[in-house]
Amino acid sequence: MFKFLAKPYRWAILYSVVLIAAMAFTLLDTFVLPKALAAVPKASTSTRTDPSSEEIFPDNPEDSEESSSEPVITENSYEDENIKITIETIRKHNTTIYVADIRVSDPSYLKTAFADNVYGRNITAKTSDIAEENNAIFAINGDFYGFRDAGYVLRNGVAYRDTARSRDNDALVIDADGNFSVVSEGEISLDKLSDMGAWQVFSFGPALVVDGELTVDSSSEVTRSMASNPRTAIGQISPLHYIAIVSDGRTRESAGLSLLELAQEFLERGCTIAYNLDGGGSSTMYFNGEVINKPTSGKRISERAVSDIVYIGY
Amino acid sequence: MSISVINNQHKNRLGKIIGIYLLLSAAAVAVDQIYGLFSHGVDSAAMTWMFLYPLLGGAFYYFIFGKLIPDLAQRPGFRLLLNLHSSGIGTLTAASFLQGVFEIAGTDSPHLTYYYGIGIVFIIAGFVILAGICQNRSFNSGKPGPKEEQP
């Protein structure tokens, strides 16, 4: 064996083959090989009527789930007894921005879903496919939890991952009443959040607006991302009143937004809290059966498969 | 074979090794630049600086030790040193590349720990062999030691 390896280049060739094989496996394991870690219970549809919603939905009977009357649907809006969504498309910063104004009568209409209804790594599907499977009226991509091994994951009341990310990262918490808050993963455990009534927890960030104040500046960016990117973010104006923003980017038509520009859009619309979700090629907005933005995948306009979505539906 | 011929062979051998490492350093820089064209402006320190492993850990290492131990390449055990040390440098460079890929993509992998660990083990093993080579007296005593295969 030693004599064999002592010959010139034999060790180098053998080790190079082993190293390349190991790298290939590592890359496959990280980006390709699906690993289902938990089955997902069907999302709860129990409703908890909020008195403040009666102003927007005055005729909403208590304990109703599905709308009893036909919704009014246009190209840019959806309205029924429980859900009202208006989509506005604007041009700013050389970028097309899609702003969804969402009002619901009950927090249970704000839901999340996993690709293929399975929690795991590298289990992905297009936002539109996940939305369609869950009969979503409106959907945006989530935090792509499945691309990492850390970051809190709690969806529809079920905790899936309690490993905090390495740095002091912001997590978005949505409680059972549909109210948003931002916590630092390093300062509170997922168990504690669950005990406090967290219903959804997302781990991407950063927070854009907290208590009505900007929390990012011109130097802020997601890890090492470039300044202008396609973006997805969600914010809250008041109880059961939300704003979701998706921007195009990385194309000739749309340069993309910086985090500061994105945060300013939420602030201008009166959001007291807003949080950045996964952007780049993941940014997708789905409404009434169609993808309405232009998600980029490499050089083409096409949807990227993602781990999860946030959606409005029954 | 005259001493001058042996010395020239030694210098050529070390020079060849140093040249290969310099080429690998240049290749690492090229990989970083090419990858950067497709990463939407995102960069990673691990990818940017991975060329330092073959440059400092390879070319500079053999340059320095070649000066400190003039007949290093002729000493028994040099092939083993070369194999172990190069395996360590290669593994660390691979780890740095993978870390860069993951950081640019915004993901992670628990496997990286093993790459860095194995790379360091190989480097340490190489230093142990180097220490043994330094203490090898058979060549200094004038008696011919085990003949090292020439590349």
Q: pLDDT digits over B124-145, tens only?
A: 999 999 999 888 654 444 444 4
Where in A105-150 does DSSP place strands (E)?
110-114, 118-121, 125-126, 136-141
Q: What's chain A's average pLDDT? A: 89
Banded pLDDT at A52 (limits 50, 70, 90): very low
Chain A residues with a Cβ under 8 Å from any Cβ in chain B: 5-9, 11-12, 15-16, 19, 22-23, 26-27, 29-31, 147-150, 222-227, 229, 250, 280
Provide the whole-model pTM.
0.82
Residues 6+ apart with CB under 8 A from B132: B77
Per-residue pLDDT of A234-259, as tens digits, reads 999 999 999 999 999 988 889 999 99
pLDDT at position A65: 57
Confidence of residue A151 (pLDDT cuts 50, 70, 90): very high
pLDDT at B73: 86
CA A308 to CA A141: how far, in whole Å?
Answer: 6
CA distance A155 to chain B (A): 21
For residue A12 the two structure tokens come to 């180098």
Residues of A in contact with B42 (CB under 8 A): 223-226
Query: Token match 């010959």: residue?
Result: A7
Residues of chain A with C-beta less than 8 angstroms from the C-beta of B49: none
What's the token pair of residue A75? 């190209």
Predicted-assembly ipTM surpassing the 0.90 threshold: no
Mark yes or no for CB contact B98/A19 under 8 Å: no
The one-character DSSP state at B75 is S
Question: Is the confidence at residue A45, as pLDDT, over 60?
Answer: no
CB A102 within 8 A of CB A242: yes
What's the DSSP call for residue B131? H
- Alpha-carbon gap, residue B66 to A145, rounded angstroms: 50
Using a CB-CB distance cutoff of 8 angstroms, which residues of chain B are in contact with residue A5? Answer: 83
Name the closest residue on chain A to residue B109, using Cα atoms: A30
Which chain A residues contact residue B111 at CB under 8 A?
26, 29-30
Å between A106 CA and nearest CA of chain B: 35
Evaluate if residue A117 carries a pLDDT over 80: yes
- Count of CB atoms situated within 10 Å of the CB of A16: 15
B37 touches chain A (CB under 8 A): no
Is B110's CB within 8 Å of A280's CB? no
Cβ(A265)–Cβ(A237) below 8 Å: no
B27 touching chain A per CB within 8 A: no
